[in-house]
Amino acid sequence: MQTFTLIFLIALLLTATTQIWLAVRHIRFVRAHQDRVPEEFSSQISLNDHRKAADYTCAKTRAGYPGILLHVVLLLVFTLGGGLNALSDFWAGWLSDPLTHGMALIISTFFLMSLAELPLSYYRTFVIEEQYGFNKMTPAMFFTDLIKQAALGLLLGAPLLFCVLWLMEKMGENWWLYAWFAWIAFNLFVLAIFPTWIAPLFNKFTPLEDATLKTRIEQLMSKCGFKASGLFVMDGSRRSNHGNAYFTGFGKTKRIVFFDTLLARLNPSEIEAVLAHELGHFKHRHVIKRIVVSFAMSLAFLWLLGYLMQQSWFYQGLGVDVAAVPSTAMALLLFFLVMPVFTFLLHPISSLYSRKHEFEADAYAAQNASADDLVRALVKLYQDNAATLTPDPLHSAFYDSHPPASIRVAHLQSQGQA
């Protein structure tokens, strides 16, 4: 057995067992606290709602077990099981050009993996979400969305993939730097077109019609120095009863979007507080900071790929036969397949960074709107979304980009008192 094969198998086993262990911890912790509403929420959330959130959380977590195991099986089948070799040989019989062969190999691999994961996605939507009253989708809408996503992925992703593979073959040892510039340009392009071209493919966006609320929001935006191309309501209720609000785009394409489910549930002062939180992200330049971090990490990963693709042990250790000449497409594909296995244990760092931004945005909302209104809005959203108030701390540290409810509310209440 190759040394790297052993390292890969140990990392895969460690990642999968950690994910299952965290899930088991989470379910046990939530169940242990399901019969008592935390004191700070007891006046607003009933015991029945608290138990519903516990049931929903545990059902979602249990549904993740098959996904963890399926990912392990697929990864082993495609690597050590010879799946990638078989796919490569299949396409070699049809395509002689290295670029088109590489594109076919990568696209077909991710297509087959998505196809294998489709039943789990269907189960989550039409069993779990349906059972707890959140799903509004029909099977026709579900599969229509899948077709749109696949078509959009090909329309946007195929040119980028071709560009990266071409750069890997033609630009010598420093290809990764040119590919990084291409990746930056692609991401900025998608950010620019998302609000006006991509998002409307899946949802309907209409201008906010409530004149009183619109005036209140515009005053808050003016106070915060935020300019947007418009205020829009998204028909989120077509697919789900979950509610949210966000701003998207940059430059002249910035727009503020409210889910119709959120507007139906919150009063104007609470909506203003939620928006103030989102504007806090803008004021603290969180989106820009996250983009910069993402670009820096992508540069490091591309440099690492540039090194690995020249190492025969990287291919052989993952069960891939590239003969005497390494394949750029195979290297790229292997890298994206196995990298999550080696980076999973770094998740708490990412979550911690995201939580820091959430605390800063909450503090900004408390200064420019009302901490109490934001607390009331959050509690309503926790209740409506059946979000558990008592997550396992370690599970939350790995997976949750937002602070746990009790910590977040306590932080906001301290801001309000200050």
How high is the mean pLDDT in each 10-residue block of the chain (418 residues)? 91 97 98 94 93 96 96 96 93 90 95 96 95 92 94 94 93 93 94 86 89 88 82 86 75 79 88 91 90 95 93 91 70 95 94 95 92 92 92 96 92 74
pLDDT at 418: 44
pLDDT at 246: 78
Q: Residue 306: is it exposed, middle or buried by C-beta count within 10 angstroms (0-12/13-18/19+)?
A: middle
Tokens of 226: 């935020």
Tokens of 198: 């991509």
278 catalytic per annotation:
yes
Tokens of 261: 């489910």
Helix (H, G, I), strand (E, B) or coil at 233: strand
362 catalytic per annotation:
yes
User: Is the CB of residue 273 less than 8 Å from the CB of residue 369?
Assistant: yes
| Count of Cβ atoms closer than 10 Å to residue 137 Cβ | 18
pTM: 0.90
Distances, alpha carbon 373 to alpha carbons 89, 141, 287, 383, 416, in Å: 61, 36, 24, 15, 10
DSSP state of 194: I
How far does Cα 318 stand from its chain's mean position?
Answer: 27
DSSP state of 206: E
User: Is the CB of residue 227 less than 8 Å from the CB of residue 254?
Assistant: yes
**Which residues does residue 62 pair with via DSSP β-bridges, in sequence order?**
none
Catalytic choice (129, 270, 272, 278): 278
pLDDT at 325: 46
Catalytic choice (129, 270, 272, 362): 362
